[in-house]
Amino acid sequence: MRIAVAGATGRMGRAVLTALRDQTDLELSGALARTGDAACGQDAAVLVGGAPFGVPVTDVAEEVIAGCDILIDFTRPEASDAYAAVCARLGKGAVIGTTGCSPAMLERLRTAAQSGRFVVAANMSVGVTLALHLLEIAARVLPDADIEILEAHHRHKVDAPSGTALRLGEVAAGARGQRLADVAVYERHRQRAPRAAGAIGFATLRAGEIVGEHRVYLASPTERLEIAHIADNRQVFAEGALRAARFLMTSPAGLYDMQDVLGLR
């Protein structure tokens, strides 16, 4: 299977390139970077070391996507939006791990998925996917518990709360028949009032080189349940993305997430 990597020069792009070296059924077919990136024209191995891939880094998206079976994309929303449109037009699958996607972009992906194949997830980790599954059960079984979501990431991350934290909130709210937009609380420093019943609170940390931590607290007056996931290395997200790519190769057109990849629904 031919895999192209968008955002190849970024943190996650390099992690995917590294993960591809250990695969026997997957091969790198393209490495896509931003226009004018200094790595363009060089072998993709310059980004991760080791033996040459025989694949140059390029900024020509159409060419890279045309030459792959599946595009793995950890970039920015505006780039992912454009790449997804090309994938749909050329009949290619895409694994999109980009965070901060707008509702309008997600709606365009749903339309594109009528003829294309996409796995879209703010977090490709198998462990996070299991945490989401467990949270759905917990929020339903503990309908009156206060829910608070704490997330921590490296100092370079630009979106807050993280896409994973927001997804945790959506799952918890949905399990209770709510919309996250109606119950989310993102800041409290201006408030001088007790916690509202049914609210889902968020707290964000940005420091150092934290790969990713997410904790959900479900607290009642008599007990507290915590669901936590800690990523020790971003290779866990790359491995999940490769698993999603394999899933797409045998899937019909549609919009999927990691729960579909793991067979949890």
* Region 246-253 average pLDDT: 95
* Reported pTM: 0.85
* Region 83-100 average pLDDT: 93
* Region 69-92 average pLDDT: 95
Determine the pLDDT at residue 265: 78
Query: Other C-beta atoms within 10 Å of 220: how many?
Result: 11
Mean pLDDT, rounded, of the chain: 95
Determine the pLDDT at residue 199: 97
* Region 199-223 average pLDDT: 97
Structural domains for the chain: 2-124+234-261 (3.40.50.720), 126-231 (3.30.360.10)
Band the pLDDT of 122: cuts 50, 70, 90.
confident
SS3 assignment, position 137: helix
Cα separation values, 51 from 15, 46, 201, Å: 16, 9, 47
With CA atoms as reference, report the closest residue to 116 among 139, 93, 136.
Answer: 93
* Region 87-105 average pLDDT: 92
* Region 10-34 average pLDDT: 96
The torsion angle over the Cα atoms of residues 17, 7, 12 and 19, rounded to 10 degrees, is: -10
* pLDDT value at 221 more than 90: yes
Determine the pLDDT at residue 216: 98
Separation of alpha carbons 176 and 172, rounded Å: 7
* pLDDT value at 1 more than 90: yes
Determine the pLDDT at residue 25: 96
Q: With pLDDT > 90 as the criterion, what percentage of the chain qualifies?
A: 90
Q: Give buried/exposed letters for 229-261 (b at 16+ CB in 10 A, else e).
A: bebeebebbbbbbbbbbbbbeebeeebbbbbbb
Determine the pLDDT at residue 154: 95
* Region 196-203 average pLDDT: 96
Determine the pLDDT at residue 71: 98
* pLDDT value at 99 more than 90: no
With CA atoms as reference, report the closest residue to 220 among 141, 150, 161.
Answer: 141
* pLDDT value at 190 more than 90: no
Determine the pLDDT at residue 212: 94
With CA atoms as reference, report the closest residue to 58 among 48, 74, 50, 47.
Answer: 47
* Region 183-211 average pLDDT: 94
Active site amino acids: 153, 157
Determine the pLDDT at residue 115: 87
Whether 166 contacts 180, CB under 8 Å: yes
With CA atoms as reference, report the closest residue to 248 among 91, 106, 131.
Answer: 91
Band the pLDDT of 101: cuts 50, 70, 90.
confident
Separation of alpha carbons 227 and 90, rounded Å: 41
With CA atoms as reference, report the closest residue to 58 among 50, 49, 70, 67.
Answer: 67
* Region 90-98 average pLDDT: 95
* pLDDT value at 192 more than 90: no
Determine the pLDDT at residue 82: 94
